[in-house]
Amino acid sequence: MENLYISASPVAGKGLFTAIDIRPKQIVFRFDGEHIFHEYTPEFAVQGDNWIGVGDREWVVPQPESPVLYLNHSCSPNVFVNKHKEIMSWANIPAHSELFLDYSSTELDPFWSMKCNCNALNCRHVIRSFPHLPLVTQLQYRPYISRVYWDRERQRTFK
Ligand SMILES: [Zn+2]
């Protein structure tokens, strides 16, 4: 974590940057915090801006000083959250690049959505939970994220 730093992000406010080159599939850091369990409702979906979905109806409230709080969304991400609550690199990330997570890869709440202006060529403009991702994107993300996100039976219940 000493190789990470917070700086102004061209995308949104402050962002999380790496001071060193990161190779693909490296564990960048781990986060933890209180686990929240709740049913999906429209009222509940607007709570917890900083919570990270880690399962079905399950979120983590990151500890106050966690770098994960500065991890911005991009529709073209370079890190993922794996099932061990570790931030893992997806691609080669050159030193002094911002780390980006696709928030759709950590959210199953069918009521959740967020406007996006990430400027990625494939920007989806409105981002929603994992089952709403294009199938090709789901398949790209699948090897890196918790199994609960690509459970086909569970996805069907959302439609
Ligand atoms: Zn976007």
Centre of ligand 1 to C-alpha 77, Å, is: 10
Per-residue confidence (pLDDT) for residue 47, from 0 to 100 = 86
Centre of ligand 1 to C-alpha 45, Å, is: 19
Per-residue confidence (pLDDT) for residue 75, from 0 to 100 = 97
Centre of ligand 1 to C-alpha 41, Å, is: 24
Centre of ligand 1 to C-alpha 39, Å, is: 27
Centre of ligand 1 to C-alpha 61, Å, is: 24
pLDDT digits over 111-135, tens only? 999 999 898 999 999 999 999 999 9
pLDDT digits over 136-146, tens only? 999 999 988 88
- Quick one: fold of 4-157? Beta-clip-like (2.170.270)
Per-residue confidence (pLDDT) for residue 35, from 0 to 100 = 95
Per-residue confidence (pLDDT) for residue 159, from 0 to 100 = 46
103 touches 112 (CB < 8 A): no
Centre of ligand 1 to C-alpha 75, Å, is: 4
Centre of ligand 1 to C-alpha 99, Å, is: 14
Contact partners, residue 3, CB within 8 Å, separation at least 6: 18, 19, 20
Domain range list for the chain:
4-157
Provide mean pLDDT across the span 88-116.
95
Centre of ligand 1 to C-alpha 88, Å, is: 20
pLDDT digits over 66-92, tens only? 999 999 999 999 999 999 999 999 999
